[in-house]
Structure 1
Amino acid sequence: MQRKISVLVEVDPDGRCVRVSVTGALTRTNQQALHPVLRRARTTLPAARVSVDLTCVHELEPTAVDLLRRAVEHDGTLRGTVEVLAPEAEPAEPAAAALDARRRMRAKILHRRCAGLPVPPPGLELHAAS
């Protein structure tokens, strides 16, 4: 089974900050799909600070993060302007459950946004039928 990532690019209204949120399973193979996304963000908004948020990735290979950071450092257009935000360590059991719930909620919201559906305000629970 092929493990996939899902990417959401958010741009600040003033164009100074771009956030690339990644969910799914980040592997040493599929991390390469982020390189063109980062380059596109830099060429579209050259003055913007780009951050890659890996904190909601369900499966994260440590080598994937290392390879992504190394690619950013070796690419002249990305060096010094792209920040990779990776989780420090796996959280303790109660924190892991809370983090999993947050990841599930965020994935549902991303799915609804991609489908063009309205996103309910915070505090309302999304049901499987919605």
Structure 2
Amino acid sequence: MQRKIAVLVEVDLDGRYVRVSVTGALTRTNQQALHPVLRRARTTLPAARVSVDLTCARELEPATVDLLRGAVEHDEDLRGAVEILVPEVEPAEPAAAAVDARRRMRAKVLHRRSAGLAGPALGTAS
């Protein structure tokens, strides 16, 4: 079984805040895929504060978080502009936590998308 991550990038309308939500299994190898995403966010929106949310990751090794923090500190464009959020406790059941994380992420996205949609017209005759 291949251990993968899924990444959702959210940008506020003013371009001052970027949130990178990560789900799946974050490993020493695939954490490197986040580096270009973070650099792209900073290049596109230089004044933006970038937040990397790892709280919904199914698997998360402490060494992986240290590698990601080290990469952020080493890159002068990212240093001081990227915040890494980690879960307080490790989930008890990885599979159940992953499903819950995906559901929460999809619900957030759908809620935000639907907030901008107009409702059906009331009082119209067919």
- TM-score interval, normalised by the smaller of the two chains: 0.7 to 0.9
Please tell me the residue identity of whatever aligns with 2:5: I
- Matching residue of 1:26: 26
Normalising by structure 1, we get a TM-score of: 0.75
Please tell me the residue identity of whatever aligns with 2:54: L
CA RMSD of aligned residues (A): 2.3
- Matching residue of 1:55: 55
In 1: Cα distance, 2:80 partner to 2:88 partner: 21
* SS class of match (1:71): helix
In 1: Cα distance, 2:29 partner to 2:63 partner: 10
Return the offset for 1:90.
2.4
Please tell me the residue identity of whatever aligns with 2:103: M
In 2: Cα distance, 1:72 partner to 1:88 partner: 21
- Matching residue of 1:79: 79
In 2: Cα distance, 1:5 partner to 1:106 partner: 16
Return the offset for 1:104.
4.0
In 1: Cα distance, 2:27 partner to 2:50 partner: 21
Return the offset for 1:9.
0.3
Gaps of 5+ in 2: 115-126
1:20-78 Cα offsets, whole Å, 9 max, x none, are 00000000110000000000000000000000000000011111101000000000000
In 2: Cα distance, 1:23 partner to 1:89 partner: 15
Pair member with larger Rg: 2
* SS class of match (1:2): coil
In 1: Cα distance, 2:104 partner to 2:88 partner: 20
- Matching residue of 1:89: 89
In 2: Cα distance, 1:104 partner to 1:38 partner: 21
* SS class of match (1:43): helix
* SS class of match (2:76): coil
Identity level (%): 72
